[in-house]
Structure 1
Amino acid sequence: MNTSQLRQAILDYSEEIGIDKLGFASADVFESLKQRLKRQQELGYQSGFEKGSIEERTEPDRLLPEAKSIISIALAYPSRTKDRPANKKEERRGVFCRASWGRDYHEVLKAKLTDLDAFIRERFPDAETNVMVDTGELSDRAVAERAGIGFSGKNTSIITPEFGSYVYLGEIITNIPFVPDTPLEDGCGSCTKCLDACPTGALVQGGQLDAQKCLAFQTQTKDFMPEEYRSKIGHFIYGFDTCQAVCPYNKHMDVHKHPEFEPDLDVAKPKLKPMLRISNREFKETFGHVAGSWRGKKPLQRNALIALGNDRDTASVDEIISVMSNDPRPVIRGTAAWSLGKIGTEEAYAAIKDAMKQEQDDQVVEEMEKGLTFQEVTLTD
């Protein structure tokens, strides 16, 4: 089988195994990306979650010495739940971003890429490959853009004509010299909806992201969230995808092709109060299969406290007081105090003052003081 025949066979097989879109790219150095990443580094715009050096992220032959081509794949995921859970006053819910609604996409894409890899090796015994999904060094989006999967939007997402930006991406680097596909033309034009909707100005300009200001990044940190971001996350406890939701290409886009990505409402939009007391075992059993669990329960619990504060949920005051008084983790105690102050009942303020008398951690005390400033504002008003 020659490379042209194999190329078509790969396309046919990808449809059989449920890959929604597949494209071929050269394995040349991603020179423009390399320059952008260097500039990002100079400006301090990186998140710190990036894997590998800039060279490893832009030079495919560092990951596979004989690299000639890269096969890029995309799988579409839903943007709406089939049912809408009630957000009752005493059962307030948080929300995971859409990319973490179903089964962890790393596992799903890895399985399909592994099947595709085996298919290639069976028909091309001399094939050398390297399979990657998101956590690899290579930039999935840069590969997808070069392979014609979609164009890179101003919101830094790959936007496909068929599925908008609601797609997961993965790739296989190989030594097989496939004919590459043609990249798509930029489709954003003069539109700035995503830039205008970004609450923190993280989208510095079209296609450039200050990851430190991105709320999706902030929901994944483990320390105290800077106060300027807390009110802006609303009810998000993992990720933040407003920059995708406002994109015109995503209007009315809602694809339900993969059962693995269908959301369980109590996981995708969980009740917040139970999140505060969930055990490690319960957390793993309930959330362990979704991508948003990768940082553990602590960031999600911190974010749940912030969400309850943002909602001024008076029904959760007793639960939050218990957390502030008894949780061994300073970040959780301090955030609970801030949340109580934001909710703003007399009981909440009295509890903060009592807890402050016993608190030994300086950062927690600082958060308690922040919580009490809400009372001062109320009295002034």
Structure 2
Amino acid sequence: MTGAQFKEELIAYSKSIGIDKIGFASSDVFTELKERLIQQQELGYQSGFEEEDIEKRTNPQLLMEGAHTIISIALAYPSKMKDAPRSVKGARRGIFCRASWGVDYHHILRGKLRLLEAFITEKVPEAEVMSMVDTGELSDRAAAERAGIGWSAKNCATITPEFGSYVYLGELLTTVYLPPDTPITDQCGDCTICIDACPTGALVQGGQLDSNKCIAFLTQTKDFLPDQYREKIGNRLYGCDTCQTVCPKNKGKDFHLHQEMEPDPEIAKPLLKPILHMSNREFKEKFGHVSGSWRGKKPIQRNAILALAHFKDESAAGELVQLMNEDPRPVIRGTAAWALGKIGAVNARKHLNAAKEREKDGNVAAEIDKGLNLLENHGIY
């Protein structure tokens, strides 16, 4: 059987197991990507979640000696939620980004890739295979671009002609030679809508992202959120979809092809106040199966506090006072203090002053002062 014949068999099999798009690429060094990553590193634009070794990220041979082919796969996920609950006064809600709707995509894609691995090794017993999703050394987007899945867009997403950028990506490295596909040429043209719409200016220019400014990254951090981004976060609990939702290439793209990706509205758009006092067990039971839970409950709780401040939800004041007074985590105590000032809640000054008298953590004390200053801005003395 020739490489071309085996490729056709693989394509047919991929469709039978629910892979929406598959592409094939050479395992040559990603020279242009290497140059971009070096520049990103020099500019301090990396998030810290990436593989640090640029050589491993750009040279497949370092991951598998004798590798010939990269197989890239894409699965389309929904962009619209059916029966989405409304966020109303007294019952405000947060939102998880679309990539965190449904079951954690890492599990879904790894399952598909394991089936591909088994299919390859059954047909070619001597073949070596290695698959990865998101957390692997290779760049999912660079592999997808070379394999003709889509083009790397100005918003740093991979846009497919069929599904827009609402796709999960994964790849498989193998020693089997399979004829490569032709990359899709860039179709962004002169459009800069995503760059103009980015809430924090994280899209420095087309295709270049300062991760440290990106809301998707900021929602995953565990420390105090920098002051200049607290209002920008809105009611986002995890991730940010702005650069995707404004993209003209995504207009009308909404696919419901995989039941496990369908969002539970009460999880994808949950009430904010119940999140504040969740135990670790309660958090895992409700959110543990979604990708947005991977950093644990602390960032989600901090973001829920910021979202309540965004809504100026006075009904949450009592719970925020309790967090400020009783929570053992400085980030939660301090963020709650700031939020009380932002909301301008009745009697907030009394509670903030009392907390300031007993607070021993310098960072929390500074947040209490910020809260008191915000109250002055509201004309509350």
Normalization by structure 1: what TM-score?
0.99
For 2:146, give the aligned amino acid.
R
CA deviations over 1:74-121 (Å, ceiling 9, x no partner): 000001101120212111100001000110000000000000110111
The CA distance in 1 between the partners of 2:242 and 2:277, in whole Å, is: 29
The CA distance in 2 between the partners of 1:294 and 1:89, in whole Å, is: 30
State the partner residue of 1:182: 182
State the partner residue of 1:278: 278
The CA distance in 2 between the partners of 1:253 and 1:315, in whole Å, is: 38
For 1:377, give the aligned amino acid.
N
State the partner residue of 1:359: 359
For 2:306, give the aligned amino acid.
I
How far is the alpha carbon of 1:65 from its aligned partner?
0.9
Contact map agreement 2:84 2:269 (CA 8 A) in 1? no
How far is the alpha carbon of 1:251 from its aligned partner?
1.1
For 1:62, give the aligned amino acid.
L
CA deviations over 1:348-376 (Å, ceiling 9, x no partner): 22211111111110000000111111112
For 2:324, give the aligned amino acid.
M
How far is the alpha carbon of 1:52 from its aligned partner?
4.0
State the partner residue of 1:262: 262
After superposition, where does 1:89-238 map in structure 2 within 5 Å?
89-238=89-238
The CA distance in 2 between the partners of 1:64 and 1:292, in whole Å, is: 31
Structure 1 residues 247 and 356, CA, compared in 2 at 3 Å: closer, same or farther? same
The CA distance in 1 between the partners of 2:379 and 2:300, in whole Å, is: 32
State the partner residue of 1:70: 70
For 2:33, give the aligned amino acid.
L
Residue 378 of structure 2 aligns to a residue whose secondary structure is: helix
Matched, 1:4 2:4: yes
Unaligned runs of 5+ in 2: none
How far is the alpha carbon of 1:380 from its aligned partner?
9.2
The CA distance in 1 between the partners of 2:110 and 2:52, in whole Å, is: 19
For 2:319, give the aligned amino acid.
E
How far is the alpha carbon of 1:2 from its aligned partner?
2.5
CA deviations over 1:161-195 (Å, ceiling 9, x no partner): 00000000000001111110000010100000000
How far is the alpha carbon of 1:379 from its aligned partner?
2.2
The CA distance in 2 between the partners of 1:221 and 1:279, in whole Å, is: 19
Contact map agreement 2:341 2:375 (CA 8 A) in 1? yes
The CA distance in 1 between the partners of 2:379 and 2:264, in whole Å, is: 43
How far is the alpha carbon of 1:244 from its aligned partner?
0.6
Contact map agreement 2:340 2:348 (CA 8 A) in 1? yes
State the partner residue of 2:250: 250
The CA distance in 2 between the partners of 1:262 and 1:348, in whole Å, is: 41
Residue 347 of structure 2 aligns to a residue whose secondary structure is: helix
After superposition, where does 1:266-345 map in structure 2 within 5 Å?
266-345=266-345
State the partner residue of 2:346: 346
Point out 4+ residue stretches in structure 1 off by more than 4 angstroms: none
The CA distance in 1 between the partners of 2:311 and 2:192, in whole Å, is: 29
State the partner residue of 1:239: 239
The CA distance in 2 between the partners of 1:125 and 1:143, in whole Å, is: 25
For 2:255, give the aligned amino acid.
V
CA deviations over 1:311-340 (Å, ceiling 9, x no partner): 100111111111111000000000000111
Residue 24 of structure 1 aligns to a residue whose secondary structure is: strand
The CA distance in 2 between the partners of 1:91 and 1:299, in whole Å, is: 21
Contact map agreement 2:344 2:380 (CA 8 A) in 1? no
Unaligned runs of 5+ in 1: none
- Corresponding pairs, count: 381
Contact map agreement 2:317 2:340 (CA 8 A) in 1? yes
Structure 1 residues 291 and 257, CA, compared in 2 at 3 Å: closer, same or farther? same
Normalization by structure 2: what TM-score?
0.99
Residue 25 of structure 2 aligns to a residue whose secondary structure is: strand
The CA distance in 2 between the partners of 1:166 and 1:346, in whole Å, is: 43
State the partner residue of 1:33: 33
The CA distance in 1 between the partners of 2:322 and 2:331, in whole Å, is: 14
CA deviations over 1:38-61 (Å, ceiling 9, x no partner): 000000000000024000000001
Residue 372 of structure 2 aligns to a residue whose secondary structure is: helix
Matched, 1:84 2:117: no
State the partner residue of 1:48: 48
The CA distance in 2 between the partners of 1:353 and 1:89, in whole Å, is: 28
The CA distance in 2 between the partners of 1:264 and 1:26, in whole Å, is: 39
Between 220-229 and 79-88, the greater mean CA deviation after superposition: 79-88
The CA distance in 2 between the partners of 1:60 and 1:305, in whole Å, is: 43
The CA distance in 1 between the partners of 2:353 and 2:66, in whole Å, is: 65
Residue 74 of structure 2 aligns to a residue whose secondary structure is: strand
Residue 169 of structure 1 aligns to a residue whose secondary structure is: strand
Residue 331 of structure 1 aligns to a residue whose secondary structure is: helix
